[in-house]
Each structure stands twice: as structure tokens, then as C-alpha cells.
Structure 1
């Protein structure tokens, strides 16, 4: 317990007043002005740590840390910039606490108790901001990757009952799963009878890729959609023959040939 003779409210008042006077020097260099509210809230949390219970201080830090981290990610600001800001604020407030401790003639033991409370909240703030920042950043990257995946596997309806699914780039397990979901969902949405998988943009077909494509074709067959494959280049045909790959559906070297075969 902190000694009863310590005027914690006076500590808090000094922290608030002193920090607001010096916060311009600790601002985000080139950062948006709307971060001011989060900076002011940080100062308030640091000051409150001197008078609130550890539980209440922890709750304040958690709420602020999550909101602040999300704002950093939204604005595209790096985590180290935020941590540097927090360290700067800590150093300035540490000097303010030291001055107030001298004014109150605190013993070394009482000063240690006051500072330890403040220091714990500072460490927790940095820890929580870091954790929340990484989580928000990962979610943003994941969302962007999902959007890219959807754009990279489009189903194009060229006329009634006929669609094309151009596949571009390498096919791994994740993309293969998305390929299957997209093919099935769009085939049902467009009421397709035929779906042509154009593989002209796939650089390599090995046994793993072949298995992934076979599973997509099988799922389409079960759902009542007739599949065809186009874009089989000579080098792919040779590789597939050497590997013994057989998709058991009609294959064509060009998309034009595949479409023409449906209209015969």
C-alpha cells in the first residue's frame, strides 16, 4: 500500500499539467492531428495510474490500447513510432513525478512505490498496444489477401449456361480451396451448365496441382456442371503426360476451341 501521507491527487494534477505543456515536443512527427486525442488519453491514463486501483488502471489501458492500435493500422503508421511516443511521454512524466516527490519530501521508499505503480501501467500500455497492433495488422493483411484471391479467381459468364474460370499463377492448397468454393458458388449463382477452367496462366502443373484441379472438377461433376479445360500449352501437356495426369474431361489448347466444342 502507498502511504496515506502521499498526496496522489497532487501527483496526478502535476502529471496532467506538465505533460500537456510538453506534449508538442513528443508528437508524432508528420502524424495526423487526430492522433492528439489518443495522446491526451495516454497522458490521462498515466496520471490515473497514480490514483486508481490496479484493476481499473488495467481496464483503462486495455480499452485505450486496442483503440489506439487500430487507429495506427488504419493510418498506416509503424508500431515503433507509437512505442517511441510512449517512451518519450514516460520520460517526461518521470521527471514530473520526481519533481512532485521532491516537493512532497517523499522518502525513497514512498517514491519507489509511486513510481512502480506508474511504471507498471506504462509497461502494460506498451505490451497491449504491441499485441493489439499485430492482431489488427494481421487482420488487415488477411482481409487484403482475401480480396486479392477473389479477384484472381473470377468466374465470367460469357452467355447463358456457359462460364469461364481463368486461373492465373501458382495453385497451392489455400488457392485450390478458394478455387473450388468459387467454382461451385458461381456455377450455382449463374445457373451454369458448362464451366471452362482456363489454365493458360498456370506456370507449372505437378502432381499436387493436378490433384487439386481434379478435386475441383469432381466437385463440379457432382453438382451437375460439365467441366472443360483450356490453355494446355505444349510444355504442360508433356509434363502431364510424363506424370500420368488425366483429368478425365475434355482438354483444349485454347479457350476458343473449348467454347466452340460446347456450341457444336
Structure 2
């Protein structure tokens, strides 16, 4: 390591606060507004200052700083995602570090006659570290977006298996569409949670909107019925269409032990709830 490289690294570390402020001043107005609104300006500056310190250390010493830089990048990424700062804005905040460093020390570089080779050598050290910071930011944003999508998907799924109380102790769960493994778990969870919290004695499980019932789907339905039975809730399956009934017979699926009704209206009428079709 040459004296010039040590000089460059030490200057970066010494002026880390000034460099961090200049970096922040170059950000977009949206970035500044959001960081101010969520009161993260000070934290961002602190973590950015530490980040620049480690960039300087990487040039002036033989100490491995990659892990430390990853930690600071993670802090910055977590702050920006929670503050509604876009990935583009976050990357635009980090990217100018290179230019700021060389612009700030341009005169000193000339005075100390630092060669282009030394500048190139320092860039070879700094550039991969900055790239790593950007990679970490992208990864954090991807994970955050995945979590947002997961929450939205979960909410949508819950809407797809509504539970409607029709009396103090009777409810209806209407299932529409395909029943896969994931949805089966949701049906089970929703049926148990709602039946328990609403203190149902009877739950009508209407499957008139289910297109296909195979052995896996039937097994999942039987598990729901058995679990509800353990809670003291009787389950009545309604809405088994003729074509579905034929398929289940061919597959050897036996619904004889399950209380079934051809339609939800018929089932409700038998328990004394009339004119249900007007309300459904």
C-alpha cells in the first residue's frame, strides 16, 4: 500500500461528516421531504458518515471493512423503506459518493501529486464496496415489497373465504374457486377462529362455487369438519352440484358420514330461516 493511498483513505475518513452532508444535499427534494417527515435525517447522516469512514479505512488500512459496510447499508435500507423512499431515490442517494470524494479532494490530489494509478487503485477498492451497498439496498427493497404483496395477498385470501353469522350461533362460510394446499390451510384457520370467537354451534360450509373436488380437496374438507367437531361445532356442507357428486362417487369419496344439503337455501329453510334467497 503506497503513501498516496494511505493519504487518500485518511482524508476520506477525516472529512466523513462533510462528505455525508454534501451527499445528503445532493438528494432529491422528495428524499429530503420524506426523511424529514419521518424524522430519520439524523440517523441517515450518522449511518452514512460511518459508511464513508469505512470506505476511507478500506483504502488506508488492510482492515477488512466489508461486514461493517454491510451493517451500515442495512440500516440505511431499513430506514428508507419504512419512510416511503423509493428504491430509485435510495440508490441516487448512495451513487454520488465517488464523485463527491474526488471533487472534494481535487485540489489536495493535485498538491500532493497523487498519480492516476493511485486514484485508479483506490477506485478499485471503493467501487466494489459501493456496489455492495447498492446490492444490499435492492435486496432490502425486494424483501420489503415481497412482504407488502404477501400482506395484500393474505387480505385478499381472507376476503375469499367470508364467514357470515346469520344467528347468534349459526354461521355460513362460502367458498368460491380452487382449493389448493395454501387455501385449505386458510379455510381451516378461518373456520376455527371465527367459529370459536363467534361461538357458533352450526357452520354451513357452502361449496357451490368450488369447480373441482378431488381426493385432496375432500380430505381437506373432512379435516375442517373434524376440527370443528372437536370445538363442538356441527358442519353442514351445502351446494354439492350434480357433476361434483358424480366425480366424488367415481373417486370413491364418501360423504355419507357428513351432513350435506343440495343448496344453502334448503339447509337454512330446514332450520326455520325462510326467504333466505332474498338476502343472499
Please report the TM-score for the alignment, with normalisation by the length of structure 2: 0.73
Counterpart for residue 208 of structure 1: 216
Residues 43 and 187 of structure 1: is their aligned pair in 2 closer, same or farther, counting only changes over 3 Å?
A: closer
Determine the C-alpha separation between the residues in 2 that align with 1:73 and 1:238. Answer: 53
> Which of 182, 201, 222 is the aligned partner of 1:174?
182
Does the 8 Å contact 1:86/1:126 carry over to 2?
yes
CA contact (8 A) 2:44 2:76 kept: no
User: What corresponds to 1:234 in structure 2?
Assistant: 242
Distance 1:181 1:152, change over 3 A: same
Deviations along 1:79-136, whole A, 9 cap, x unmatched? 4564455334434545555664333223566545543443343133123222322222
Equivalence for 1:160: 168
Match of 2:131 among 123, 139, 153: 123
Which residue in the other structure is 2:232 paired with?
224
* Structure-2 residue corresponding to 1:11: 12
* Cα gap change, 1:135 to 1:128, in 2 (>3 Å): same
Shift of 1:246: 2.8
Q: How far is the alpha carbon of 1:2 from its aligned partner?
A: 6.4
Cα pair 2:23 2:93 within 8 Å, conserved: no
Distance (whole Å) between structure 2 residues aligned to residue 143 and residue 91 of structure 1: 40
Other structure's SS at 2:12 match: helix
Which runs of no fewer than 5 residues in structure 1 stay unpaired? none
Which moves more between the two structures, 152-161 or 36-45?
36-45
1:257 to partner: Cα distance: 1.2
- 1:257 is matched with 266
**Aligned length in residues:** 262
How far apart are 1:47 and its partner, in Å? 3.0
Of residues 129, 152, 156, the one that matches 1:148 is 156
CA separation of 1:167 and 1:85: change in aligned 2, threshold 3 A = same
Partner SS, residue 227 of structure 1:
strand
Supply the distance in 2 between the matched residues of 1:18 and 1:56 (Cα, whole angstroms). Answer: 19
Alpha-carbon shift at residue 55 of structure 1 (Å): 6.2
The verdict on how the C-alpha distance between 1:254 and 1:12 changes in structure 2, with shifts beyond 3 A counting, is same
The equivalent position to 1:71 in structure 2, one of 80, 83, 99, is 80
Give the Cα separation in 1 of the matches to 2:175 and 2:269.
Answer: 20
Gaps of 5+ in 2: 274-280
User: Take 2:204 and 2:32, find their aligned partners in 1: how far apart are those partners?
Assistant: 49
SS in structure 2 of the partner of residue 251 of structure 1 = strand
* Separation in 1, partners of 2:234, 2:176: 21
CA distance, structure 1, for counterparts of residue 117 and residue 128 of structure 2: 17
State whether residues 178 and 211 of structure 2, in contact with CA within 8 Å, keep that contact through their aligned partners in structure 1.
Answer: yes
Task: Indicate the RMSD between aligned Cα atoms, in angstroms.
Answer: 3.6
Q: Structure 2 residue aligned with 1:50, among 37, 40, 56?
A: 56
Q: Which residue of 2 aligns with 1:190?
A: 198
